[in-house]
Amino acid sequence: MDNKVVLNYDGKSYEYPIVESTIGDKGINISKLRDETGLITLDLGYKNTGATISDITYLDGDKGELFYRGYPIEQIAEKSNFTEVMYLLLHGELPNKSQFEQFERNIKAHNFVAEEMKKIIDAFPRSAHPMGVLSALTSALTAFSPVTVDPKTKEDRAAEVMLAKFAHLCAWTYRKKQSLPLNHGDNSLNYVENFYRMTFRLPNEEFEIDPIIVDSLDKLLILHADHEQNCSTSTVRMVGSAHTGIFASMSAGVSALWGPLHGGANQAVIEMLEMINEDGGDVAKYVAKAKDKNDSFRLMGFGHRVYKNFDPRARIIKKAADGILNQLGIHDNTLDIAMQLEKVALEDDYFIEKKLYPNVDFYSGIIYRALGIPTEMFTVMFALGRLPGWISQWKEMRLKNDPIGRPRQVYQGAQKRDYVPMEDR
């Protein structure tokens, strides 16, 4: 088997080694291409470009497989919890009991946010989009934890501070939107329970932990924890490659996730379902529109730009969605429409042939709505889940001393020309 690729250009031959992954992917190492040939590659959107070598997450879009540190997502979602997954992503191995307990203690030691942060969130209007608020608050944490900006700071300590305080910011963003007083954490609870309490506790009544809701949130956060080199993760690595601190790097990830083509997909699902409901709830009409190539309507939450078969996360979260709707006894026309669309997508030959299966965004949107989380908050929930993945990627980049990111371009603008004074134009 050849372990190199030969490029013939301008009468000369150049050899570039093949880099193999531990599972099956291959890449061509073209690090010396520009120096040797004067050429660069053009790959719009970096769809075929590997910017790093990573040990964290692997996905196979053709087979519909996803692994965290080598563990199949199906096993992780069934047997693990979000705190253990955070440790796994950050440290590369599952923790033993003492490691797990110490990790929890380390996070709980930072389970608060400076009171001055309340002044910052108070300055935002209630109408502000939660992701804009979250991005600003995350960046502002730098001023209150400057030690994590120091490149000499241990990455693990920075990670634990970030994990603890980000959950507060997500909860506070929700409560700002709902005009509720801001809560601090409770160290008697685990990570997901603590977030759940901070987010939903009302000031005038006792708060009870609902295990059904906590279990659903736990699974959702696990399924979103990392997903290889996607837009927001690549953004975190790019920003962090300049030795930018953890808070500013995570803030950049939040901003990237905000985009409707990335983290905003589950919000788009509910908005689509609400539109169908407002139009009379005729699912067959919109299925026909989706099949019509001349119609601009597109079903949101079906298919995936990476997975060519069923999204493995969707299989898992579908069970949680079914369970929470049944156990909470929720009756919602919009969610009824979602179930009708799901049935069509799983049984209709058109959807099966084109592999337009419901994806994780479809089911996560359904669960968030069932839990009473406002649509604009969906991407904040996504960010909370994705945080350990972002941090793990940031940490890996720092420890491997990856070079600063500096993409090239193919320039197609004007050729060299002389400046013309305004009066002569």
List, by residue number, the catalytic residues: 304, 361
Cβ neighbours, 10 Å, residue 280: 8
Residue 331 makes CB contacts below 8 A (sequence gap 6+) with none
**First-to-last C-alpha distance (Å) of the chain:** 62
CA separation for the pair 358, 307 (Å, rounded):
11
In the block, tokens 């073209």 appear at: 30
CA separation for the pair 273, 366 (Å, rounded):
10
**Strands 26-28, 12-20: parallel, antiparallel or unpaired by DSSP?**
antiparallel
Which of 384, 382, 376 shows the shortest CA–CA distance to 138? 384
What is the enclosing helix (H) or strand (E) of 364? helix 360-370
Q: Is 276 within 8 Å of 286 (Cβ atoms)? A: yes
Q: C-alpha angle 157/174/114, rounded to 5°?
A: 40
| Residue at 86: amino acid letter | M
CA separation for the pair 235, 405 (Å, rounded):
10
**Per the structure block, which two tokens stand in for 66?**
């996803």
CA separation for the pair 94, 71 (Å, rounded):
10
CA separation for the pair 2, 31 (Å, rounded):
19
Q: C-alpha angle 62/24/229, rounded to 5°?
A: 70
DSSP 231-256: HHHHHHHHHHTTT--HHHHHHHHHHH
DSSP 29-51: --TTHHHHHS-----GGGTT---
Q: Is 110 within 8 Å of 165 (Cβ atoms)? A: yes
